[in-house]
Amino acid sequence: MLPAIVMAAVLVLAGCTPTPPSVTPEPVPSSTPVFASDEDALAAATAAYAKYLEVSDQITADGGKSPDRIAKFVTSNQLVHELDGFKQWSEPDDSSVGSSQFDTVSLQRYDDIAGGKSVVVVYLCVDVSAVRIMNAAGTDVTPATRPNRYPLEVEFDANSAADPELVISRSEPWSGNNFCQ
């Protein structure tokens, strides 16, 4: 009996007594996702780009005047690039007639990042075949070699689930295979 008591005491002192299993709580996300699904993120990006393109077309139709109208559709870093692009319309006094379109929109990625923000990146095809460039005399000066459709990679940022409005943070020609054929 004495050896059993000694063995029990050694086990207790050594910490070998069984302990009740600990319950690990489920991890709680640090912030609410901005979009419920990839499909919702893609739909939001498509809607945001449509609004952006409409205002961009208005600015070029006005010969590049009041280009700051585009500011609510882009980040402050992207705004610098947008304003530079619109300068080319005002210096030779050109304007546009017609509306740009886009299609073949596909999601490259959607990520929720720290602080409740998110990034949505899409591929899309811009179609400018219905847009003509007119000079001050009203003559069509659209370059004959201008591509009518071209692929872009466009990145959008959203601030939070409470403010899921997407704005363009980057727009670049897609350098891979042209998926706009």
In this predicted structure, the answer to whether residue 40 has a pLDDT above a threshold of 70 is: yes
In this predicted structure, the answer to whether residue 27 has a pLDDT above a threshold of 60 is: no
| Measured CA distances, 27 to 24, 31, 92, 111 (Å) | 9, 12, 59, 18
The residue written with tokens 């319950």 in the block is: 23
- Give the up-direction half-sphere exposure of residue 47: CA atoms within 13 A in the CB hemisphere: 9
User: CA 107, CA 175: separation in Å to the nearest integer?
Assistant: 17
Note the pLDDT tens digit of each residue in 138-149. Answer: 999 999 999 999
Region 22-32: mean pLDDT is: 53
User: CA 71, CA 153: separation in Å to the nearest integer?
Assistant: 19
Provide the percentage of residues in the chain whose pLDDT is more than 90: 64
Position 161 scores a pLDDT of 61
Note the pLDDT tens digit of each residue in 94-131. Answer: 999 999 999 999 999 999 887 778 899 999 999 999 99
What is the pTM (predicted TM-score) of this model?
0.80
CA end-to-end distance (rounded Å), the chain: 89
For 2, the 3-state DSSP assignment is helix
> If you ran DSSP here, which 8-state letter would residue 20 be given?
P
> If you ran DSSP here, which 8-state letter would residue 103 be given?
E
